[in-house]
Amino acid sequence: MSSAVIVGPDEHDVAEALEEEGFAVTTTAIGNRPALEEAGIHEAEVYVLTDIDQATSITVAHDLNDAVRVVVFADGTLPEFATRQTDLLVDPALLDARAVAEELAREV
């Protein structure tokens, strides 16, 4: 079973959509190192960030698991340093959580 870690609020039900696609999902409000480790980032295939203000957590996630696929599912502008480390950047107003989950399930 594939696993995903979600950091930030889940206003668009991305956790539910990923679970429906067969992912084991762990969520945490804060993307600092201890929280990411506790959420299982070491084994996760996918890291979903829903809070642009926590963009530095992308670097932390990659530091802990360089193979993790990073998805930012949020509106707003991602800082340039984080853009380079992000595999997929999706505005929820343009594509819903189910479509993102389906695509991730195909790729993992």
Q: What is the pLDDT of residues 51-74, one digit of tens each?
A: 999 999 999 999 999 999 999 999
pTM of structure: 0.96
Tell me what pLDDT residue 59 has. 97
Residue 53 DSSP symbol: G
Q: Give buried/exposed letters for 26-37 (b at 16+ CB in 10 A, else e).
A: bbbeebeeebbe
- Quote the mean pLDDT of the chain: 97
Tell me what pLDDT residue 103 has. 94
Q: Beta strand 24-28 with 46-49: parallel, antiparallel or unpaired? A: unpaired
Tell me what pLDDT residue 1 has. 81
d(CA 25, CA 40): 9
Query: What structural domains does the chain harbor?
Result: 3-107 (3.40.50.2300)
